[in-house]
Chains A and B, each alone.
Chain A
Amino acid sequence: MTLLHPQAFYLALSGLLILLLHFLRSRERQRDVSSLLLWEGLHGEPQSKAARLRQQLDPLLLLQLAILFALVAALTQPLLDLPARSYSGIAVVIDGSASMQTIGENGQSRYQAAVAQAVDYLDEHSASEIVVIQHSAHPSILTASETERGEAQAVLRASSPTWYGDGEIRDLNSLIASVGGAGKFDRILYLSDQILPDLPENTDVMLSPHADNLAVTSFAVRENVTSLGVTAFVELTNDSDDYVDVQVRLSDGENQTTLQVMLPPTRAERFSIPFPTSRGTVFTASLEPSDGFQADNKRFYSLDRPIDVRVFWIGEQNRYLLTALRAVAPITRVKEIDRADLVIVDSVQAPLIHQGVLLLVNAGMQEVVDLGDSIATSAATPTSMGHDLLRAVSPEDFRVRQLSEVTFHVPYETLIEVDGMPLLTESVEAHRRLLVFTANLMNTNLPITVDFPILVRNIVNDLVRVPSVLSVDSLVSGDFVDLAGRGQISALSDADGEDIPFSSELESFRVDAPGVYTLYTDRGAYALAVNIPASESQLSQQGLDTRIAVGAEATRQHFALWPLLTAMALLFMVLESVLYTGLTPQYRRTP
């Protein structure tokens, strides 16, 4: 039952006027008789409350009220929904994109509302075969072929929306073709929050109502070139008819900064936000206040490399080495070895360290490298010219006055040797990468050569500030991440921090939800920021809603009840008139 003009119910208040007039009239009926001859002396009988009430229930009053309510009901123009015809096949296409997770005012998501509509539709339209398709950037068929109504409804109720973007018509057509083609289905029910162009003519479209939306539709972070920190670039969209005062909060996990802006209605505006205190690599831009579609109130971004180098220093602090490091990248000294990107051991015997990038300068490490006696040398001779760590470095210019004998307990590769003895070695293990410089820097000319900072830069950039093997600026949910050629992957965790089952044969995986995925490689751990597609937050095309909604309604069968109600009112009028004037004069209050 649908009421086209429910506001007409206010006219029912005029029934109070009828009641008022009724009770204002004399409570007693008056009756003329030919003579009191036979009435005089009669005592009558006591009137009980019930009898009084029965007396007050004047049939004329009831009929007058019935006339009023029938007319009022007719003015509301009720439409009776009638069961539609049955079909041989129905394809239910429900939009499973991220925007369908928008929560409406009734606390129900668009997807839940669409499921309810689809279930009702299947109740009203019987079909011998029903197929349910969840449409998105990665559409899928939820039901087996030749599914009956009850099963299809159960599948719909059990389904949930994805975080993917909107699907395309060609994908939908392909899916329908795969289950028998469009000719197999008399009707296609399409439930979405936006219209899909070029739908078949036999499609019933049910669109979710438009809702206001605030969104971070774009987010990127770049390192400052000439100063510390980063600068964030955000695009904010206000899909409403009002100016909205919003706050953008930038966070790198440790530090945060905010920006307060006033967004004009139905506009998208871009802002750059300086974040000089940031040292992080994973950033979050969140919008406050949040709205019904919270997924686009927050976007993620991860830099393709660390910004500063966190150094844990053991032993003497050589100021030349420190200066060379600072020339390459901002250096932060940390006190916990677990948080360090680089561990430097200088001129001492270090305890056993199992993981990380370690630079041993004239130093040993238990069970790995033992440092022996110092030996006087002449000139150094490079032995591994082709190694990446030595690019742009000229080892022949090195001069070493004295170096130490070393004994390795792990495999190693000599990068530079002096008089047949290793000066710089590299040892690569699963979780540990070890560089050993066997001389005291002060016994060499390296600190005063141009090659020294180049060598240190190579070490830092190649071993510590390793660029992401995934050279992508941003990922959206549903994207596939190609792992081939990305190095040795050791572990993978999703946006919630849960481990993703992983095998060495895995060549790619799909990021299904927005958030920060973590990829563990032999070169370190890297963050992968995943967001929902920005198209899910684009300004809505409100003009289309009504047109399609009308088209969908036209396929339903409605029966207008107002003529019937008007006829009922007329019938009541005639009955009331007959009761009053003719057949039953006892109902008259006055002759």
Chain B
Amino acid sequence: MPTYIDEAFLQRLANLRFIVKGRRKGRLSGSHISPRAGVSLEFSDYRSYTPGDDFRYIDWNVYGRLDRVLVKTFVHEADLPIYLLVDFSASMSVGAPRKAEYAAQFAAAMAFLGLRGLDRVGLFPFNTELVQGIPPRHGMAQMGKILRRLREAEPGGRTSIDQAITEFVSQSRESGLVFLITDFLGAEDYREGLSRLLFRGDDVTVIQVLAPEDVEPPMLGTTRIVDVESTQRITLTIGQRTREEYAQRFQSYQEDLKSFFTSRGISHFLAKTDRPMERFIHEDLRIGGILQ
């Protein structure tokens, strides 16, 4: 059972927090600015006094100058639901370490950052559909649940991102910060689901987890290639020319993905499992404007 977060790793994540685009409508107080007026130290605006308002917020200086009773309003700091959609299909079992382990470690780190920032964090593992999701909650007890769930999750089954997102949207009505963690190698049915999230108002960040052999297959010679999800197989004699052709295809596929994400305003990060997780979080996500 892998340990996804240890003490030293947590200390190095302690100074990070999420950057949220725009003001989120949170139900509860949190660390993110909400479009609702609320009680905080940050001044927002004035409005006329109405009976029932708290006397403490009457601005007496304005009353002295303008002879009008106005009440100060402050920025409402709302919490942010953070959804972690983690692909646990069979394709995530490839690599050493397995992509699923890398994805789980990343999800655990994001969960920690979210819960430490008083946000609600939910975990939604999926393959063709959601598998025993954890609704977003506050508190470190939620962290324990998430870690247990991550440990218990075993890669298996095929991938259907559209179907999983559709199910996710039906289960979770509130928009939030969505981390979609997958390899995008299972199928090409991701457009509809992502569009649905964007339509709902979610701030979507895609973490594409790939093993080195997904990028540069090491095989040479006659090889029986087996799809771990479909168990379909093809036999190829792989040489330098074939590897170059694969590299071109991979490059083209990635460009299509990027083009789609850019057009939708979706943040996209490529995480190779041979890259240390800490560097990925501290460098790639900070540079990409996800964390600060």
Chains A and B belong together in one complex: yes
The residue on B at minimum CB distance from A46 is: B237
**A543 contacts partner chain B, Cβ-Cβ < 8 Å:** no
Mark contacts of B223-238 with chain A using CB atoms, 8 A cut-off: 1 yes-contact digit, 0 otherwise: 1111111101011111
Assess the A45–B94 pair: CB atoms within 8 A.
no
Assess the A39–B94 pair: CB atoms within 8 A.
no
* Distance in angstroms between the alpha carbons of A10 and B222 in the assembled complex: 36
Assess the A34–B183 pair: CB atoms within 8 A.
yes
* Contacts A28-B223, A29-B219 given; does A35 touch B229 at CB 8 Å: yes
**B242 contacts partner chain A, Cβ-Cβ < 8 Å:** yes
**B10 contacts partner chain A, Cβ-Cβ < 8 Å:** no
Among B143-151, B164-172, B244-252, the one that faces the other chain is B244-252
Q: How far is the CB of B259 from chain A (nearest CB, A)?
A: 17
* Distance in angstroms between the alpha carbons of A37 and B91 in the assembled complex: 12
- Chain B residues within an 8 Å CB radius of A37: 185-188, 253
**A178 contacts partner chain B, Cβ-Cβ < 8 Å:** no
Mark contacts of B246-282 with chain A using CB atoms, 8 A cut-off: 1 yes-contact digit, 0 otherwise: 1001100100000000000000000000000000000
* Contacts A40-B234, A45-B239, A585-B218 given; does A34 touch B91 at CB 8 Å: yes
CB within 8 Å of A: which of B169-200? Answer: 183, 185-188
Assess the B242–A28 pair: CB atoms within 8 A.
no
Q: How far is the CB of A47 from chain B (nearest CB, A)?
A: 4
Assess the A33–B227 pair: CB atoms within 8 A.
yes
**A17 contacts partner chain B, Cβ-Cβ < 8 Å:** no
* Distance in angstroms between the alpha carbons of A30 and B224 in the assembled complex: 5
Assess the B222–A27 pair: CB atoms within 8 A.
yes
Q: Tell which of A36, A42, A584 touches B227, judged by Cβ atoms closer than 8 Å.
A: A36
- Chain B residues within an 8 Å CB radius of A32: 94, 226, 228
Assess the B225–A36 pair: CB atoms within 8 A.
yes
**A159 contacts partner chain B, Cβ-Cβ < 8 Å:** no
Q: Tell which of B183, B223, B228, B250 touches A29, judged by Cβ atoms closer than 8 Å.
A: B223
**A554 contacts partner chain B, Cβ-Cβ < 8 Å:** no
Question: Looking at chain B's contact residues, is the secondary structure mostly helix, strand, loop, or mixed?
Answer: mixed
**B5 contacts partner chain A, Cβ-Cβ < 8 Å:** no
- Chain A residues within an 8 Å CB radius of B234: 36, 39-40
**A55 contacts partner chain B, Cβ-Cβ < 8 Å:** yes
* Distance in angstroms between the alpha carbons of A464 and B236 in the assembled complex: 111
* Distance in angstroms between the alpha carbons of A356 and B92 in the assembled complex: 124
The residue on B at minimum CB distance from A581 is: B96
**A44 contacts partner chain B, Cβ-Cβ < 8 Å:** yes
**B62 contacts partner chain A, Cβ-Cβ < 8 Å:** no
- Chain A residues within an 8 Å CB radius of B213: 33, 585
**B220 contacts partner chain A, Cβ-Cβ < 8 Å:** yes
- Chain A residues within an 8 Å CB radius of B92: 34
Q: Tell which of B211, B219, B241, B250 touches A31, judged by Cβ atoms closer than 8 Å.
A: B219
**A20 contacts partner chain B, Cβ-Cβ < 8 Å:** no
* Distance in angstroms between the alpha carbons of A584 and B249 in the assembled complex: 24
**A51 contacts partner chain B, Cβ-Cβ < 8 Å:** yes
- Chain B residues within an 8 Å CB radius of A584: 218
Q: Pick the most buried of A27, A36, A55, A584: most chain B CB atoms within 10 A of its CB.
A: A36
Q: Tell which of B188, B211, B237 touches A45, judged by Cβ atoms closer than 8 Å.
A: B237
- Chain A residues within an 8 Å CB radius of B227: 33-36
* Distance in angstroms between the alpha carbons of A27 and B105 in the assembled complex: 38
Q: How far is the CB of B206 from chain A (nearest CB, A)?
A: 16
- Chain A residues within an 8 Å CB radius of B219: 29, 31, 586
Chain B interface residues toward A at CB < 8 A: 91-92, 94, 96, 99, 183, 185-188, 211, 213-214, 217-230, 232, 234-239, 241-242, 245-246, 249-250, 253
Q: Contacts A34-B94, A34-B186, A36-B225 known; list 10 others, CB within 8 Å.
A: A29-B223, A29-B224, A30-B224, A33-B225, A33-B226, A34-B228, A35-B91, A37-B253, A44-B236, A47-B221
The 6 closest A-B pairs by CB, nearest first: A44-B236, A34-B91, A55-B221, A586-B218, A35-B185, A34-B185
- 20 A-B pairs with CB atoms under 8 Å apart are A28-B223, A31-B224, A31-B226, A33-B94, A34-B227, A35-B186, A36-B230, A37-B185, A37-B253, A38-B246, A39-B225, A39-B236, A39-B246, A43-B236, A44-B238, A44-B239, A51-B221, A52-B222, A54-B221, A584-B218
